[in-house]
RNA sequence: GGUGAGGUGGCCGAGCGGCUGAAGGCGCUCCCCUGCUAAGGGAGUAUACCCUUAUCCGGUAUCGAGGGUUCGAAUCCCUCCCUCACCGCCA
């Protein structure tokens, strides 16, 4: 959520910046509601003040044993007027909140203009895509040939976009999780955290998935209104919801969870293989920082994700998302895209964002600043990395002519010293 | 799932229809005293919003959440959520 005061004071500025991401701010409606709200709030509060005052005098009169009937008569119609004003105020406030909750974050100055992912701007590249002297195969062919990936059984058990993995492929998948966790904990200074995989509506509202993006989520058919998490961002960031945090900052968490996405609206996209599944593993980095430190923190956080790619020797590039492609809650996002030989292109493997105080305001996540006053934190997160996509990119980039997969050096200690996956 | 006890400020804890935004304690901040340390004395110490040139003053709301009763609710009633204890079931 944006700061209502900012919208009130500089609506033109805000509208201009939001236009960069293709969002049109309805200033007229906003002003109208704001004016009504102000009027109704003053009226309501005046009536409440009146009621409080007369109630108090009734109490005092009664204590002295005076006749209170005249006083009671005097306030007889107050209740009705108050209910009226309150009802109207609630209605206006609800409308206002709905509108505010639907406004996306303001893009940072550095975010380039653009409509779609085609307008994202490349910032850097690392590593050189390998030259193959044989026909490259994609991870589906390779994985199935090694009896490590089984999409048919996944479809039988559940449906499309689910996979079963076995043996050394499954082990490499698990090794990646351990490797990423350990690296972020031991070398990048993150604290490990384990959270629920099922969350309530308040949590999803806090990080911005609700109310606008319900269709991307798996909702459980229970009366509590629970959802499967689409990313660890939701439970981890919400650990500080409704808190005034008084520990050390920055607070950096790394968390491995499965992620569940309904992928509604992505029919026909990436239907083959493990690129886009309903269930996938991710190691997520989440940071809570002081406002003045969030810009630097985004550079550091994306660097931590890049370290994983580099140590696995996977070629990648870093892009900054343009206004049209950036997520609802983010002020600035870097995507890391790994090289996929079978597609002859770079594909997203990590997304690192600075949300500034947008999520914190929704969540009321605060800390005490140097003056001891509660102030909104800044939140950031990024994949470090998406495990399924890392696995498939290793399979493709490390494939050998005979269909075996070389195991990256960094992973060998996690796989009992294994140097290649041969499928036998 | 059953039974019982609870959910009050940064923390502990009193209040059980009006003078309670909330006693008392702890913690924290400032001041005083004390030749170190320890101890002692005093003052202050919630959040959000509205009004306002103003972090002055004033107003409103908030005692788990939402409803209700009442002129008036932290206090009474209803529903829900959560915590703890015991029982049952169970990875």
Q: Which of A23-32, A123-132, A150-159, A395-404 has the lowest mean pLDDT?
A: A23-32
Catalytic residue, chosen from A205, A276, A317, A347, is A276
Terminal C-alpha separation, chain A: 54
Asked if A15 and A27 count as a contact pair (C-beta separation under 8 A), the reply is: yes
Question: What's the CA gap between A331 and A325, in Å, rounded?
Answer: 11
Average pLDDT, chain A: 92
- pLDDT number for residue A201: 87
Nucleotide nearest to A46 (CA to C1'): B59
At residue A149, does pLDDT exceed 90? Answer: yes
Q: Which residue's alpha carbon is at the shortest distance from the C1' of B80?
A: A224
Catalytic residue, chosen from A261, A356, A361, A366, is A261
A41: Cβ under 7 Å from strand B? yes
Q: Using 50, 70 and 90 to split pLDDT, how confident is the model at A75?
A: confident
Q: Tell me, yes or no, if A50 is annotated catalytic.
A: no
A91: Cβ under 7 Å from strand B? no
Q: Using 50, 70 and 90 to split pLDDT, how confident is the model at A119?
A: very high
| Structure tokens, A389 | 């996509």
Averaged pLDDT for residues A66-89: 82
Nucleotide nearest to A51 (CA to C1'): B71
Asked if A106 and A14 count as a contact pair (C-beta separation under 8 A), the reply is: yes
- pLDDT number for residue A97: 85
Q: Which of A68-77, A173-182, A206-215 has the highest mean pLDDT?
A: A173-182
Q: Tell me, yes or no, if A412 is annotated catalytic.
A: no
At residue A182, does pLDDT exceed 90? Answer: yes
- CA-to-C1' distance for A353 and B11, Å? 36
- pLDDT number for residue A265: 82
- CA-to-C1' distance for A85 and B75, Å? 27
Question: What's the CA gap between A263 and A13, in Å, rounded?
Answer: 35
Nucleotide nearest to A78 (CA to C1'): B71
A6: Cβ under 7 Å from strand B? no
Question: What's the CA gap between A151 and A274, in Å, rounded?
Answer: 9
Local structure of residue A219 (DSSP, 8 states): B
- pLDDT number for residue A342: 96
A374: Cβ under 7 Å from strand B? yes
At residue A31, does pLDDT exceed 80? Answer: yes
CB atoms within 10 A of CB A208: 25
At residue A371, does pLDDT exceed 80? Answer: no
> pLDDT exceeding 90 applies to what percent of chain A?
64
Q: Which residues contact A182 (CB under 8 A, 6 or more apart)?
A: none
What number of H helices and E strands is found in chain A? 13, 17
Q: Tell me, yes or no, if A37 is annotated catalytic.
A: no
Q: Using 50, 70 and 90 to split pLDDT, how confident is the model at A235?
A: very high
Instruction: State ipTM.
Output: 0.83
At residue A66, does pLDDT exceed 80? Answer: no
Averaged pLDDT for residues A5-23: 90
Strand B positions within 7 A of protein Cβ atoms: 10, 18-19, 46-51, 59-61, 71-72, 81-82
Averaged pLDDT for residues A239-256: 88
The strand B neighbours among A residues 229-258, by Cβ under 7 Å, are 244
The strand B neighbours among A residues 315-354, by Cβ under 7 Å, are none
Q: Tell me, yes or no, if A117 is annotated catalytic.
A: no
Q: Which of A86-95, A113-122, A370-379 has the highest mean pLDDT?
A: A113-122
Q: Tell me, yes or no, if A161 is annotated catalytic.
A: no
A72: Cβ under 7 Å from strand B? yes
| Nearest of A298, A250, A270, A342 to residue A110 by alpha carbon | A298
């Amino acid at each position: 959520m944006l700061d209502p005061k900012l919208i009130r004071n500089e609506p033109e500025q805000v509208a201009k910046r939001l236009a960069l991401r293709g969002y049109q701010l309805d200033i007229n409606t906003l002003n109208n509601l704001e004016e009504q709200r102000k009027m109704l709030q003053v009226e309501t509060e005046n009536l409440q003040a009146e009621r409080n005052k007369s109630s108090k005098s009734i109490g005092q009169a009664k204590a002295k044993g005076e006749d209170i009937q005249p006083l009671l008569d005097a306030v007889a119609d107050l209740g009705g007027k108050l209910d009226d004003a309150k009802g109207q105020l609630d209605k206006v406030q609800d409308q206002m909140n709905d509108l505010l909750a639907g406004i996306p974050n303001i893009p940072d100055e550095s975010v380039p203009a653009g409509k779609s992912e085609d307008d994202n701007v490349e910032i850097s590249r690392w590593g050189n895509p390998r030259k193959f002297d044989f026909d490259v195969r994609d991870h589906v062919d390779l994985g199935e040939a090694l009896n490590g990936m089984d999409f048919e059984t996944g479809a039988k058990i559940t449906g499309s976009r689910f996979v079963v993995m076995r043996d050394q492929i499954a082990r490499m998948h698990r090794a990646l999780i351990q490797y990423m966790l350990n690296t972020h904990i031991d070398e990048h200074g993150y604290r490990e955290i384990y959270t629920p995989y099922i969350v309530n509506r308040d949590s999803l509202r806090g990080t911005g998935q609700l109310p606008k993006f319900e269709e991307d989520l798996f909702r459980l058919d229970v009366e509590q209104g629970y959802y499967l998490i689409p990313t660890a961002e939701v439970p981890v960031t919400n650990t500080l919801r409704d808190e005034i945090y008084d520990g050390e900052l920055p607070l950096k968490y790394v968390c491995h969870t499965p992620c569940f996405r309904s992928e509604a609206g992505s029919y026909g996209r990436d239907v083959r293989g493990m690129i886009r599944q309903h269930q996938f593993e991710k190691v997520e980095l989440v940071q809570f920082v002081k406002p003045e430190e969030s810009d630097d923190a985004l550079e550091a956080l994306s660097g931590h994700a890049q370290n994983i790619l580099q140590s696995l020797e996977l070629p990648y590039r870093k892009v900054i998302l343009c206004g049209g492609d950036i997520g609802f809650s983010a002020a600035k996002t870097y995507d890391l895209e790994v090289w996929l030989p079978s597609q002859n292109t770079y594909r997203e493997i990590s997304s690192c964002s600075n949300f500034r105080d947008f999520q914190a305001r929704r969540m009321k996540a605060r800390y005490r600043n140097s003056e001891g006053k509660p102030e909104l934190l800044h939140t950031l997160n990024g994949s470090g990395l998406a495990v399924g996509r890392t696995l498939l990119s290793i399979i493709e980039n490390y494939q050998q002519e005979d269909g075996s997969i070389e195991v990256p050096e960094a992973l060998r200690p996690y796989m009992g010293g294994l140097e290649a996956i041969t499928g036998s």
